[in-house]
Amino acid sequence: MSTTPAISQLTANTIRGLAIDGVQAANSGHPGMPLGMADVATVIYTRYLRYDPTCPDWFDRDRFVLSAGHGSMLLYAVLHLTGIGRDGRTHAEKPIDIDELKQFRQWGARCAGHPEHGEAPGIETTTGPLGQGFCNAVGMALAETHLRARFGAHQMDHWTYGICSDGDLMEGISGEAASLAGHLGLARCIILWDDNGITIDGTTEVAFTEDVLARFVAYGWHVQRVDGHNQEAVAAAIDAARAVTDKPSLIACKTTIGYGSPNKAGKSAVHGAPLGVDEVKLTKTALGLDPERSFVVPDSVYAHVRLKDAGRKAERQAWQARVQAAQDDAFGRVLANAEDKSLDISQIAWPAYAVGTKTSTRKASQAALQAICSAVPEVIGGSADLAESNLTHMKASGAFQRATPTGRNLNFGIREHAMASMCNGISLHGGLRPYNATFLIFHDYHRPAVRLSALMRQPVVYVYTHDSVWVGEDGPTHQPIETLQALRLIPNLETFRPCDANEANEAWREALTRTDGPVALAFTRQDLPVLDRSNGGPDGLRRGGYVLTETPNATVTLIATGSEVWLAADAAATLATEGIAARVVNLPCLERFDKQDAAYRSSVLGALPRVSVEAGSTRGWERYVGLDGASVGIDRFGASGPGKTVSENLGLNVPNIVATVKQVLGA
């Protein structure tokens, strides 16, 4: 093994200096990890990572994921050195400059406490919540593998590198993704583990003594162990990992947290607190840096990092030429999606349902998905082992498996959390629109990843079937009560709960049309009558809510969502027989409805007393019914029994709605 050139060592130490200066300037942050992993980052960015600094979004670039997001200064420092984004026109497209490193963790700065996707070029994903970056990387590698299989290595042929921490590997989510990545043989995924043995609460000896590499071998990974401060050893390990064609790779990089700090290296105190002014100086001295100067980058380091830039650009241009020569229209669609997340959905032959027929919205979703599958080849997805219940299998495509990577049906196994986080990775990779599916109740199992879809504005489609106590016999563990309202609380997420089969189409349409955030689709297990929704017009669902039935001389407005819309309509019919005229309003997406102008909202909700009906928590419905109205819902856990029985016994029935209306009206 050759000796690491001095310039490579200086590059790593420059990263170290920038990282501890940034943390010190902010008086907040995590210096330990950047000090420990600067050698690894140097190796990845100077010797392996394929990118063009003048074209950060080059679709066939290698992806780098910093799963240990608390080490964000490592990423900012190295991105600064590369100058990725140097041809950018807007501020957001331009490289992180040296002054921005000084603004680390300040209001409005792009160098946020944790890497935030979209803030600056080269930040491939938002990390911080542990385990998520690991799964994003697996998702990115899956996307690449799939696209390479479909469109050829001349158009898609890159790697995904990741750096993860002990914490990433303790979280269950990474175990889920690792098991699946091993099963699928996602060989383009190389994760370098910062094996420093230290966490916030001390050494990993207090809680984490398992044999991690043996565990990954059990998952089907290729594993190696190297000295993470020996750049040649790290490079040799990456070479070896790249030579493995049937397994993802985990490289345990034995490092010292806070490497270089004479008094704090190897201690948990260096994990998440600034070194202090004196220790910064001592550390710089120990690293051969000028202790009296901050935010210093020698020209030779810039030159070293950027040495291959001409070749990098040429490589990207060669790719572009190959793609142009190929004239592959299907790949052109993929590129368009990669550009702005858009999809051409004009060719979808949506199924249609006659008013008065009955079907569940999950079955309608199934039919919609078949139409989508044929017309929108960028759609890929699957279920956490509930495809038979969620009805999310695309029959015209095969399963994505090791031997059949062109398949668009993903078998995630019973791993909801990794499923969602991998879909974030697929979406971040670009070129594909991922969906995933489980029972609505199991939203909780992957809620952290849904939050990240929303935070990163990734248009991942979440299909949630069995969306109420109508689940029935499976009982309270399987019956969502609080879930719909909990979904609506997540900023940037839109939750659609269509009232019938035709509206299920429209919900899918909105999910595919949206480009700036995730969409949750709540579908029923049980059959619902297809309603006459002509009053709402084509824009009804798109606006989040509309009047289903205007009634002359109405004295009350009934508001419902999803499977309770027909129930509200039934209640209105009964009320009519008792001389009470009721309007019926359908609010399939509260978040979307809230964004409409006040005039529209008023026109829909009306000035009459209001009663809402939804098979779930009433908390939050006061926004629509006020304190003078009332909500029919369920504020307790459900119960096991046939769905209709459970629903009716918990108050979702016409007599209860009628009684509630009368109470509100004082009638």
Of 117-146, binders to a second copy (CB under 8 A) are 126-130
Output 517 or 536, the one with its CB closest to a second copy. Answer: 517
Of 422-461, binders to a second copy (CB under 8 A) are 441-442, 444-445, 447-448, 451-452, 454-455
User: DSSP label at 399?
Assistant: B
Of 505-564, binders to a second copy (CB under 8 A) are none
Distance of closest approach, residue 592 Cβ to a second copy, in angstroms:
14
Output 121 or 131, the one with its CB closest to a second copy. Answer: 131
Distance of closest approach, residue 530 Cβ to a second copy, in angstroms:
26
Terminal alpha carbon distance of the chain: 89
Distance of closest approach, residue 626 Cβ to a second copy, in angstroms:
4
Of 20-79, binders to a second copy (CB under 8 A) are 26, 28-29, 69
Work out whether 641 is an interface residue with a second copy (CB under 8 A): yes
Distance of closest approach, residue 202 Cβ to a second copy, in angstroms:
8
Antiparallel, parallel or unpaired: β 461-465 and 433-439: parallel
List of E strands, 407-538: 409-411, 433-439, 461-465, 494-496, 519-522, 527-529
Contact at 8 Å (CB) between 33 and 271?
Answer: yes
At residue 477, φ and ψ (nearest 5 deg) are -65, -20
- Alpha carbon 95 to chain centroid distance? 24
Output 406 or 640, the one with its CB closest to a second copy. Answer: 640
Cα gap 334→455, rounded to integer Å: 23
Considering only CA atoms, which of 94, 57, 51, 96 is closest in space to residue 74? Answer: 96
Q: Which positions ≥6 away from 455 have C-beta within 8 Å?
A: 116, 126, 491, 492
Contact at 8 Å (CB) between 397 and 429?
Answer: no
Work out whether 99 is an interface residue with a second copy (CB under 8 A): no
Work out whether 364 is an interface residue with a second copy (CB under 8 A): no
Work out whether 586 is an interface residue with a second copy (CB under 8 A): no
Output 444 or 532, the one with its CB closest to a second copy. Answer: 444
- Binding range to a second copy, per CB under 8 A, among 79-87, 112-120, 360-368, 557-565: 112-120
Distances (CA, A) of 587 to 524, 594, 624, 632: 16, 10, 10, 15
Work out whether 220 is an interface residue with a second copy (CB under 8 A): yes
Work out whether 264 is an interface residue with a second copy (CB under 8 A): no
Binding string to a second copy for residues 481 to 510, with x set by CB under 8 A, is what?
A: xx--xx-xxxxx------------------
Work out whether 601 is an interface residue with a second copy (CB under 8 A): no
Distances (CA, A) of 167 to 126, 196, 252, 448: 16, 11, 14, 16
Site residue total, a second copy (CB under 8 A) = 109
Cα gap 332→323, rounded to integer Å: 9
Output 101 or 156, the one with its CB closest to a second copy. Answer: 101
Cα gap 446→129, rounded to integer Å: 12
SS3 258: coil
- Give start and end residues of each alpha helix (H) in 290-415: 299-305, 309-326, 329-340, 361-375, 387-390
Distance of closest approach, residue 645 Cβ to a second copy, in angstroms:
5
Selected binder of a second copy within 263, 285, 342, 389 (CB under 8 A): 389
Distance of closest approach, residue 527 Cβ to a second copy, in angstroms:
16
- Binding range to a second copy, per CB under 8 A, among 174-182, 248-256, 540-548, 595-603: 174-182
Output 264 or 488, the one with its CB closest to a second copy. Answer: 488
Of 608-627, binders to a second copy (CB under 8 A) are 617, 619-620, 622-623, 626-627
Distance of closest approach, residue 158 Cβ to a second copy, in angstroms:
25
Cα gap 317→297, rounded to integer Å: 29
Considering only CA atoms, which of 495, 489, 529, 490 is closest in space to residue 510? Answer: 495
Distance of closest approach, residue 482 Cβ to a second copy, in angstroms:
4
Work out whether 167 is an interface residue with a second copy (CB under 8 A): yes
The DSSP bridge partners found for residue 439 are 465
Angle at 78 between CA 73 and CA 82, to 5 degrees: 150
Output 410 or 572, the one with its CB closest to a second copy. Answer: 410
Contact at 8 Å (CB) between 201 and 268?
Answer: yes
Q: Which positions ≥6 away from 598 have C-beta within 8 Å?
A: none
Contact at 8 Å (CB) between 467 and 497?
Answer: yes
Contact at 8 Å (CB) between 610 and 629?
Answer: yes
The DSSP bridge partners found for residue 435 are 381, 461
Cα gap 40→476, rounded to integer Å: 49
Of 9-28, binders to a second copy (CB under 8 A) are 26, 28
Selected binder of a second copy within 212, 270, 528, 604 (CB under 8 A): 212
Distance of closest approach, residue 348 Cβ to a second copy, in angstroms:
26
- Binding range to a second copy, per CB under 8 A, among 89-97, 140-148, 343-351, 382-390: 382-390
Distance of closest approach, residue 333 Cβ to a second copy, in angstroms:
28
User: DSSP label at 356?
Assistant: T
Q: Which of 144, 279, 378, 416 is catalytic?
A: 416
Output 49 or 198, the one with its CB closest to a second copy. Answer: 198
Work out whether 473 is an interface residue with a second copy (CB under 8 A): yes
Cα gap 177→172, rounded to integer Å: 9
Q: Which positions ≥6 away from 46 have C-beta within 8 Å?
A: 8, 11, 304, 305, 307, 308
The DSSP bridge partners found for residue 195 are 254
Q: Is 416 a catalytic residue?
A: yes
Distance of closest approach, residue 551 Cβ to a second copy, in angstroms:
22
Selected binder of a second copy within 137, 180, 373, 565 (CB under 8 A): 180
Distance of closest approach, residue 665 Cβ to a second copy, in angstroms:
18
- Binding range to a second copy, per CB under 8 A, among 87-95, 163-171, 186-194, 288-296: 163-171
- Binding range to a second copy, per CB under 8 A, among 151-159, 528-536, 576-584, 641-649: 641-649
Work out whether 210 is an interface residue with a second copy (CB under 8 A): yes
Length of the chain, in residues: 667
Selected binder of a second copy within 88, 276, 351, 413 (CB under 8 A): 413
Output 285 or 645, the one with its CB closest to a second copy. Answer: 645
- Binding range to a second copy, per CB under 8 A, among 59-67, 243-251, 406-414, 527-535: 406-414
Of 268-287, binders to a second copy (CB under 8 A) are 268
Output 471 or 584, the one with its CB closest to a second copy. Answer: 471
Angle at 664 between CA 658 and CA 667, to 5 degrees: 75
- Binding range to a second copy, per CB under 8 A, among 216-224, 522-530, 544-552, 659-667: 216-224
The residues annotated as belonging to the active site are 416
